Amino acid sequence: MIFGIKCSHLEPLLLKAGWPERTIPDKPTSPRQRYRITATGHAWLATTSI
């Protein structure tokens, strides 16, 4: 789960890259909106030492 990515510049870039996905895709501004890491995101994290 990714927390705190509400920056108007970072969030669109990450979503476009396909690393996180919204839990409520039809309502991007919902106060209950959360993100989960996709398989692409997990693969990137596995190759990156953060």
**Domain assignment present for 3:** no
Q: How many domains in the chain?
A: 1
Q: What share of the chain is helix, strand, coil (3-state, %, to 5)?
A: 35, 10, 55
**Domain assignment present for 1:** no
**Domain assignment present for 25:** yes
Nearest by Cα to 3 from 28, 34, 25 = 34
- pLDDT digit string (tens) for 1-50? 455 555 666 677 788 888 889 999 999 889 998 989 999 989 988 998 76
pLDDT of residue 15: 82
pLDDT of residue 14: 80
pLDDT of residue 38: 92
